[in-house]
Amino acid sequence: MIPGIDKLSEPSENVAVPQHSNSSSIISALWALLIGATMAAVACGGITTADTQKPLQVVTTTSLLADLTQNVAGASTVVTAVIPPGADVHSFQTTPNHSIAISNAGLIVSNGGGLDDFLYPMIENAQEDGAVHIVASQGLAGASTRQDPHFWQNPANAVHYVRRIQEGLSAADPANAESYRDRADSYVQRLLDLDQEISQILSEVPPSRRHLVTYHDAFAHFGARYGWRTSSLVANDAGGVTPNAITHLQERVRQEGIAAVFTEPQFRSKVIELAARDTGVEVGTIYSDVLGGGSAADTYLDMMRLNARNLVELLR
- Could you tell me if 191 and 132 lie in one domain? yes
Task: Record the pTM.
Answer: 0.80
Q: Each residue of 56-103: pLDDT tens digit?
A: 999 999 999 999 999 999 999 999 999 999 888 878 999 999 999 999
> Measuring CA to CA, how many Å separate 39 from each of 28, 36, 47, 145, 247?
17, 5, 9, 55, 75
Is 11 a residue whose pLDDT tops 60? no
Provide the b/e sequence for 191-206 (b: ≥16 CB within 10 Å): beebbeebeebbeebe
pLDDT of residue 269: 67
Side-chain half-sphere exposure of 41, counting CA atoms within 13 A: 10
More confident call, 311 vs 90: 311
Please tell me whether residues 84 and 32 are part of one structural domain. no
What is the tens place of the pLDDT at every residue in 92-106?
999 999 999 999 999
- Looking at residue 88, its pLDDT comes to 82
Question: For residue 51, is it within any domain?
Answer: no
Is 262 found in the same domain as 167? no
Q: How far is CA 116 from CA 89, 153, 155, 166, 171, in A?
A: 7, 16, 20, 20, 22
Strand locations in 82-182 (E): 107-110, 132-135
Of the residues 199, 214, 235, which one is the last residue of a structural domain? 199
Residue 25 predicted with pLDDT over 90: no
- The answer as to whether 48 is a domain residue is no
Same domain, yes or no, for 310 and 295? yes
- CA–CA separation, 117 and 107 (whole Å): 17
In a domain, 270, yes or no: yes
Residue where one domain finishes, among candidates 156, 182, 199: 199
**Is 245 part of any domain?**
yes
Rg of the chain's alpha carbons, rounded to an integer? 29
Question: What is the pLDDT confidence band of residue 216, given thresholds at 50, 70 and 90?
Answer: confident
Residue 37 included in any domain? yes
| pLDDT > 70? residue 169 | yes
Residues 262 and 231 in one domain: yes
E strands, the chain, are 57-60, 78-81, 107-110, 132-135, 211-216, 229-234, 260-263, 282-285
Using CA atoms, how far residue 64 sits from 67, 126, 164, 183, 221, in Å, is 5, 22, 14, 17, 16
If asked whether residues 212 and 299 sit together in one domain, one would say yes
Domain of 221, CATH number, reads 3.40.50.1980
Check the CA dihedral 188-77-165-288 and report its sign: positive
Rounded mean pLDDT of 24-44? 45
For residue 291, the enclosing domain spans: 206-315
- Judge whether 249 lies within some domain: yes
67 and 179 both lie in a single domain: yes
Do 183 and 74 reside in the same domain of the chain? yes
Percent of the chain clearing pLDDT 70 (strictly above): 80
How would residue 238 be classed by pLDDT, with cut points 50, 70 and 90? Answer: low
Provide the domain count of the chain: 3
| Cα torsion 212, 218, 220, 222: sign | negative
Is 49 part of any domain?
no
Give the residue, 254 or 50, on which the prediction is more confident: 254
Q: Indicate whether 33 pLDDT > 50.
A: no
Q: What pLDDT does 20 receive?
A: 44
